[in-house]
Amino acid sequence: MESGKAKNLTGVLLSLFIISFAGCSNDDLSPITLKGQDNTTLTIRLTDFTSENGYSFPLQGGDGSYSVKSSNDKIVTAEMISPVDLRLIPINIGETTVTITDNSRNILILNIQVDFATQDIVIRERTVTIFGEGLTENEKKAITEEQLAQIPVKVGGGYRFIFTDVVGKKGKAVIYTDTFGSDGIETTFEYKEFESIYAPDVVSHGYEVVINNEKRIFILGIYQGQSTSSYRVALMEDVTPKVQVEYPQAESVYTAQLISPRIID
């Protein structure tokens, strides 16, 4: 028969073994992370699309039995839409955290910032296209010089469109005349549908921007000028009515601002 002391010692050793074994279970698992990235700080954009569909992030690590909770459902809601897929839905502008845990007490805390959707457009080339058989070469040259001067930004400058009105697709615009990101001029804009410059029956999209109390319309189109860039999206502005005041034989005149590939955030 075992003595009382022997029984007590056996029980203590058994308890320590169980505790030690349970404590080591987390060490045998890889930590919970977002698949494909180590970053735990995320910026997501509030748009009419993302406010309904959200953002999906696959998870990895841990024991695979994930649960998730947002610290502020008025900023971001969080849910698991599959055993490994996390969905975040932006609700309002702000910051919060989302905590992911599993049954083995592994934990991942995500710092979430919700911001307005923003489009950054940098201009790399500018041209003026003129149609009018009755115009002389000198008149075409003069029109080109005048209209290039009327384009709001120079090469290297650009536009930032911040969609503060998610539903109405409008908001604040910042115009960088000389260098993108430097000395911006704030105004307002609206993203709308317009008739295409090339085909009146075709609908295009573009920006109606208030510049010096005048609404200027820049339609997204295909750049027709000579360029070494394979990215040929441009902001097009039909300036025909303005040009015809001085040059009535001008049939069609439009400016084009070739967009750098770094368009849209």
pLDDT by 10-residue block (mean), the chain, 265 residues:
48 41 56 92 92 95 96 98 97 97 96 95 94 95 97 96 91 97 96 77 86 95 70 90 96 94 53
Q: Which helix (H) or strand (E) holds 146?
A: helix 137-150
Beta-bridged to residue 191, according to DSSP, are 207
Complete edge-to-edge strand list for the sheet that includes strand 41-46: 41-46, 107-116, 94-101, 67-70
* Pairing mode of beta strands 107-116, 41-46: parallel
Q: Which domains does the chain have, with CATH numbers?
A: 28-115 (2.60.40.1080), 118-259 (no CATH)
Closest CA to 158 of 171, 177, 172: 177
Exposure class string for 144-166: b at 16+ Cβ within 10 A, else e? bebbeeebbbeeebbbbbbbeeb
Structure tokens, 16: 């320590």
Which phi and psi angles does 16 have, rounded to 5°?
A: -60, -40
With beta carbons less than 8 A apart as the criterion, state whether 235 and 219 touch. yes
**Which pLDDT score is estimated for 264?**
46
The CA angle 261-262-265, to the nearest 5 degrees, is 135
Burial class (CB in 10 A: 0-12, 13-18, 19+), 179: middle
Amino acid occupying residue 146: E
Q: Cα separation of 42 and 66, whole Å?
A: 19
Residue 239 half-sphere exposure, CB side, CA atoms within 13 Å?
22
**Residue 214 neighbours by CB under 8 Å, 6+ apart:** none
Beta-bridged to residue 257, according to DSSP, are 126, 235
Q: Cα separation of 260 and 179, whole Å?
A: 13
